[in-house]
Structure 1
Amino acid sequence: MKIVKTYTINSIKILFIVLFLSTLVIACEKDSFDNEISVELNDEIRAELNDEIMGEHDEAKTGPV
C-alpha cells in the first residue's frame, strides 16, 4: 500500500511540474511572438511613412499636379 501511495504522490508532483513548465513556455513564446509581430508592424508603418514623406518631397520639387 505504501508503494502505491508513493507512486501516486510522485505522479501528482510530476503533473504539477509539467503543467507549470508548459505554462511558462507558452507565456514566453507569446511574448516572443508579440515582439516579432510588433517589429513587423513597425517596419510596415515606417515604410508607409517613408513613402508618404517621399511623396510630399517629390511634390515640393515638381509642384502640385
Structure 2
Amino acid sequence: MTMTDPVADMLTRIRNANMAMHEGVNMPSSKQKVALADILKSEGYIRDYPGVRGQGGSWRGAQHRDEVLPAA
C-alpha cells in the first residue's frame, strides 16, 4: 500500500498506540518524521524516540508521556 501522507500516518500511529495504552510504536523512518519527533519531544508530547533516526527503515517511534496534557 502506498502512503500518500506520511505525517498524518505518523500522528495516527502515535494516537492509536496511545489510545491502546501501548508504551511506544514502530513506524517507517524519514528525515521529516525525525524532525517532527524532535518538535513533539521538545514540546513535551512524547518522551523519546529511540532507534534508527532518519536513515530509512523502521524505528521505534514515540514513547508516550505518563500523564495526559490538558487541552489548551
TM-score (norm: length of structure 2): 0.24
* Higher RCO (CA < 8 A, seq sep 6+): 2
Higher strand share: 2
Structure whose residues are more often helix by fraction: 1
